[in-house]
Amino acid sequence: MSKVYFSLEDFPSLTNTIVTIGTFDGVHVGHKKIFDQLNELKKQTGYQTVVFTFDPHPRKILFPEQKDLKLITSTHEKIKLISENEIDYVLVYPFSKKFSEISSDFYIENILVKKLGAKVIIIGYDHKFGKNREGNIEVLKNNAAKYGFEVIEISAKDIDSINVSSSQIRKAIDAGDIDLANKFLGHSYFLTGMVTEGKKLGRTIGYPTANVKIADVDKLLPKIGVYAVKVKVLGNEYGGMLNIGVNPTTDTDNKIKIEVNIFDFNQDIYGETISIKFVKRLRDEVKFANLEELKIQLLDDRNKSLDILK
């Protein structure tokens, strides 16, 4: 497991590291390629690996007027996925307006070199840093000899593919195209949330559901509808079916809810945090004439989910 830090003050002063910097939203196949490069260099050099990332997302601070940015992974989810790539250290830096205004010289000398101990920096050709975004890959290269580090450039082709993947993943999730999203991610799209009390209507019709509250308001939710899912709860994984929507058959408040029916599971899990992996979208949300029609459809959804999850 990676050692994770949320401030520069707590982060140990390291020497001889390989550092990469970025937001890494989704931790998808493009990002994994970069982490593979870090691990390959670690084998060759014996240096430790560092992923330097940010919370909140820099766009939230630099462009506060853009209210529509939704993220593929919460910070907690992102850390979990980065850790699975055998990275030694993860620094989640608290991104702020003040941080964005430090000079590129200060950033290089005091953060990358003195604190992170960078001997190799793997960075995108278009990466910008420091006041007025004055720092870039050329500035890093010009300082390499002075501070004794090497700069490895992530090519335009690779960066473009990473950017395309991120935007395509968001579009796919928004459209409910879980197959495409999962292909670009290299893992199942998932969300984590706490189980809260609901109306308990599901248990009266034979399909008890866990109501899931997502803490991160920036988390991107898939398109409204019904999904076959896998649910990790109390340390075990179960199949299930999930509805994201307003429950038009039974509710009138028009609020989006996330409810999951966990197969072959019957425990009280109020207050527990669960993780839900999306496997396939089954259908749109529908308003039924009565509960009997809803029950018939839920049986069909269950059978289809069981078939998919085999």
Digit-by-digit pLDDT tens for the chain (310 residues) are 899 999 999 999 999 999 999 999 999 999 999 999 999 999 999 999 999 999 999 989 988 888 788 999 999 999 999 999 999 999 999 999 999 999 999 999 999 999 999 999 999 888 889 888 899 999 999 999 999 999 999 887 887 877 778 899 999 999 999 999 999 999 999 999 999 987 767 677 789 999 999 989 999 999 999 999 999 999 999 999 999 999 988 888 889 999 999 999 999 999 999 999 999 999 999 999 999 999 999 999 999 999 999 9
Contact 172, 72 (CB under 8 A): no
What's the topology of domain 188-309? Elongation Factor Tu (Ef-tu); domain 3 (2.40.30)
User: Which pLDDT score, from 0 to 100, does residue 164 have?
Assistant: 76
pLDDT at 138: 94
| Long-range own/partner contacts, residues 153-158 (CB < 8 A, 24 or more apart) | 153/123, 153/124, 153/125, 154/34, 154/122, 154/123, 154/124, 154/125, 155/125, 156/125, 156/126, 158/30, 158/33
End-to-end CA distance of the chain: 30
Q: Write down the pLDDT at residue 188.
A: 97
What is the pLDDT, as a whole number, of residue 172?
Answer: 97
Say if residues 273 and 197 touch (Cβ distance below 8 Å): no
Domain ranges of the chain: 3-171, 188-309
Alpha carbon 158 to its chain centroid, in Å, reads 20
CB 124 within 8 A of CB 22: yes
259 CB neighbour count, 10 Å cutoff: 20
Q: Find out if CATH 3.90.280.10 is the number for domain 3-171.
A: no
Residues 6+ apart with CB under 8 A from 300: none
DSSP class per residue in 61-96:
HH-TT-----BSS-HHHHHHHHHTTT-SEEEEEE--
Topology match between the domains 3-171 and 188-309:
no
